[in-house]
Structure formats: structure tokens, C-alpha cells
């Protein structure tokens, strides 16, 4: 089979865009914390670029994409180690989802998803976690939560065999990370040092712009080819974010009497997270509704969080957890066989409630709930175990002085 140079070039670009999202996340989170913690939160994103790549090479890719249900994996839950150290990944291999694109591109593209997913969680426990504990968390969470999730849905595992769909990571990325964030907050507890607020909204704006830009690679690239669905996913991504941002802004304007820039930025990210599982399966009209619902759900979840005193510092659960969970279920509602073209395989369609298919909605709901519960429970247990190995939380003195100095001996500003 000859290589399609157009699709290959596009996928290399999409891979680069997804990689760029991790530094974008670092800027987004960095602007939201105080000046004395900005390097720490940014470093927690950047370190994943290195550590996750190493794990991906050693065994991560193999656990995600070796074997299928009944074909060499472990009960459809996780893959095997046949491709550890990228054994068998060479110039002659082709992508399992598009045999006109090299396997090396597929490996690299999926690796970028693995890099950013655990970094999303760090915003929840900002200013409270020691760096050694975070490194253990990063490795364990990828191994026992992220890799099995990928295999079950994208690697031919249990949920894929059952018919669950996730175009670009509503379950695999956002639901798992968001509910892990919730568990982290509950285990680690509130910050003892009251911060005066974020130190740089312009930095948040730069991070949002990079994330929004990179999300085109995240969603449109998940089609793994250049075709009509690629453009549908691209447009849906922008539409959802563009409706979610102003919706959030309007809610701020109504309830706080001011149109807040931060509200617009947060809403846009919520829209991006929520459209992710749906991007290539729903109409543009559905993307409008999904974007609006993303802002409503995220806004009122965060309002509830603030009333209950839950210290999810950067609202990871409200934006990513709720967004990914809601988007997965809304795919069960708005997924349509009309989003196709002649010759597109039936296995790549998502027929939901709008097509009269209640069974698909049920599958999506069960899968989202299962992923949320597993990520939550495992993260609680994992943090308990890590705390027996090395303290997870910094001392009250170090928290007061800022983690940049106490953990890394560096400062962002004079």
C-alpha cells in the first residue's frame, strides 16, 4: 500500500499541534496561580513531555495498542507487551486506522495525547503537591488509568467491541482526568495558604489561544486522514468553543454584573473539552447546542464547587471532567448517520437518539460512568499508596512560601 503524502503531512502537523497544547496548558495554568507557584505548575506540564515519552517507548504504546478483545490482550481491558520498546514499529508499518499513513506517525500522534492527559489533572491540586510524589503519580496514573482507557476504546478492547465511541478523547482524556482531579482534591485537601488570586490573566489568554489552536489537531487529526469528516470535526471544534465562551461570559455578566475576560476564556476551553468526543460524529447545528450546554454545565458545576468549599484550584473537574462526561453522553444524543459520505465504513458512524437509537445513548452513558468511577476510585487508592512511599503534600511552611522556591529553588520573577 502506497503512502498518502497529503494525509501523512497533515497528521504530522496535527501531531505537532497536539504537542504544542502541553506548553499551552502550562501557560494557561501558570497564569491562574500566584507568582510564587507559577514555575511549579508549569513544570508539572513540561515534565510530562519527557517522562511520558519514555514510558510510551518502554511499554505505554504496547499496553494501548497490542492485541484486541479475544486476540491477545488482557480480558479486553489492557494490551500486552509484545510491542514494548516499540518492538515491530518501523518504517514498513502502517497505521491501524489508516493504512496509507506510516505507523510511526500513529505512534507519535497517540503519544501526544498521553502527554497532555495527566498534565490536565495538575490544576486541581495546584500549590500543594511535592514533586517526587507527582512523578510517581504521573507514572502510576498513566499505567493503570490512561493506558487501559485507550486500549478499551481505541485499541480494540472491551468498550470498542461493545460499540462505545469517543472521537478524540471525551472519555479517554477528559472524563478520566477530570474525575481523577476530583479524587485528588478530596484526598489532598484544601490549601492552607489563602492566595490573593491569579497573577496573570494575559498568560491565561496566551495559554487559551495555544490550546484552541492545538485543539484543531486534537480533534480534526483524530480522523487520521484528510476527508470530509476532518473538516466537519475542525469546524465543530471552533463552533463549540465560540458558542461556549460567550455563553459563559453572559452568565458572568448576569450574575456578577461584569463581562469577565477570564469567564470567556474558561468557557471556550469547556466548549473544546465537551465537543471532543463528538467532533466527527455530529452536525454543526448540534455543535452549537453542545457548546452552549458545555458552558452552562461547567459554570454551574463551578458555582456549586465554590459553595461547598471544594478546593479544585483551577476548576479541572468543572471544565474537563464535566465537559468530557457531558460530551460523551451528548454524542449518544446527537450522533447521526447523516455525518458521513459515500464509502465511509459503517463502523465509523455514531447513530444516537436523534436517529432513534436509544441503545447507543445507554452505552455511552454506561461507559462514561464506568470510566469516571474507575478513575476516581483508583486515583484515591493510588494517592494513599504514594503517600506511604513519600509524602504527597508539602508542609504548611513550604506552601506559605511557595513551591517554586521550596521544591525547585527557582523563582519566576524578581
Query: Residue ranges of the domains in the chain?
Result: 5-408
How does residue 168 score in pLDDT terms, banded at 50, 70 and 90? very high
Compute the distance between CA of residue 380 and CA of residue 51 in angstroms, rounded to an integer.
22
User: Helix or strand or coil: residue 333?
Assistant: helix
Overall residue count recorded for the chain in this entry: 414
11, pLDDT greater than 80: yes
Place of cell 460524529: 281
Backbone angles phi, psi at 129, to 5 degrees: -110, 135
Distance in angstroms (rounded) separating the CA atoms of residues 152 and 194: 41
pLDDT tens figures, 242-279? 999 999 999 999 999 999 999 999 999 999 999 999 99
Average pLDDT of every residue of the chain? 95
**Model pLDDT for residues 59-94, shown as the tens digit of each residue:** 999 999 999 887 889 999 999 999 999 999 999 999
| Class of the domain covering 5-408 | mainly alpha
| Under 8 Å between Cβ of 25 and 211 | yes
CB 136 within 8 A of CB 144: no
86: left (phi over 0), alpha (psi -120 to 50) or beta: left
Q: What was the pLDDT predicted at 1? A: 63
Mean pLDDT of 154-178: 97
Helix, strand or coil, per DSSP, at residue 102: strand
Q: Cα(112)–Cα(56) distance, rounded to whole angstroms?
A: 10
d(CA 191, CA 93): 49
Instruction: Return the minimum-mean-pLDDT range out of 61-70, 144-153, 290-299, 361-370.
Output: 61-70
- pLDDT > 70: what percent of the chain? 100
Q: How far apart are CA 78 and CA 5, in angstroms?
A: 32
Q: Which residues pair with 382 in a beta bridge?
A: none
Across-strand partners of 94?
102
Amino acid at each position: 500500500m502506497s503512502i498518502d503524502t497529503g494525509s501523512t503531512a497533515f497528521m504530522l502537523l496535527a501531531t505537532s499541534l497536539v504537542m504544542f497544547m502541553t506548553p499551552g496548558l502550562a501557560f494557561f495554568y501558570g497564569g491562574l496561580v500566584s507568582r510564587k507557584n507559577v514555575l511549579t505548575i508549569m513544570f508539572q506540564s513540561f515534565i510530562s513531555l519527557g517522562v511520558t515519552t519514555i514510558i510510551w517507548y518502554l511499554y505505554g504504546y504496547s499496553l494501548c495498542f497490542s492485541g484486541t478483545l479475544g486476540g491477545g490482550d488482557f480480558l479486553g481491558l489492557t494490551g500486552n507487551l509484545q510491542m514494548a520498546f516499540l518492538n515491530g514499529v518501523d518504517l514498513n508499518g502502517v497505521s491501524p486506522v489508516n493504512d496509507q499513513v506510516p505507523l510511526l506517525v500513529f505512534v507519535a500522534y497517540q503519544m501526544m495525547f498521553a502527554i497532555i492527559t495527566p498534565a490536565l489533572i495538575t490544576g486541581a491540586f495546584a500549590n500543594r503537591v511535592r514533586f517526587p510524589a507527582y512523578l510517581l503519580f504521573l507514572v502510576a496514573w498513566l499505567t493503570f488509568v490512561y493506558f487501559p482507557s485507550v486500549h478499551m476504546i481505541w485499541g480494540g478492547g472491551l468498550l470498542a467491541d461493545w460499540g462505545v465511541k469517543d472521537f478524540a478523547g471525551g472519555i479517554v482524556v477528559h472524563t478520566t482526568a477530570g474525575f481523577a482531579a476530583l479524587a485528588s482534591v478530596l484526598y489532598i485537601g484544601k490549601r492552607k495558604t489563602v492566595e490573593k488570586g491569579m497573577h496573570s490573566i494575559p498568560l491565561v489568554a496566551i495559554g487559551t489561544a495555544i490550546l484552541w489552536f492545538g485543539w484543531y489537531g486534537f480533534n480534526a487529526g483524530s480522523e487520521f486522514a484528510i476527508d470530509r469528516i476532518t473538516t466537519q470535526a475542525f469546524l465543530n471544534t471552533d463552533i463549540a468553543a465560540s458558542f461556549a465562551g460567550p455563553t459563559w461570559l453572559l452568565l458572568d455578566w448576569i450574575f456578577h454584573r461584569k463581562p469577565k475576560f477570564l469567564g470567556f476564556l474558561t468557557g471556550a476551553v469547556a466548549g473544546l473539552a465537551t465537543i471532543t468526543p463528538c467532533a466527527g460524529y455530529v452536525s454543526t447545528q448540534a455543535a452549537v447546542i453542545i457548546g452552549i450546554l458545555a458552558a452552562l454545565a461547567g459554570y454551574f458545576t463551578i458555582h456549586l464547587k465554590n459553595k461547598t468549599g471544594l478546593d479544585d484550584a483551577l476548576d479541572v473537574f468543572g471544565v474537563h471532567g464535566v465537559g468530557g462526561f457531558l460530551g460523551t453522553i451528548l454524542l449518544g444524543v446527537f450522533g447521526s448517520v447523516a455525518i458521513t459520505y459515500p464509502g465511509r465504513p459503517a463502523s465509523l458512524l455514531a447513530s444516537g437518539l436523534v436517529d432513534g437509537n436509544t441503545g447507543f445513548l445507554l452505552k455511552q452513558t454506561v461507559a462514561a460512568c464506568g470510566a469516571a468511577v474507575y478513575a476516581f476510585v483508583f486515583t484515591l487508592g493510588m494517592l494513599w499508596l504514594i503517600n506511604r512511599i513519600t509524602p504527597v503534600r508539602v508542609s504548611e511552611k513550604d506552601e506559605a512560601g511557595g513551591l517554586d522556591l521550596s521544591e525547585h529553588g527557582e523563582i519566576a520573577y524578581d
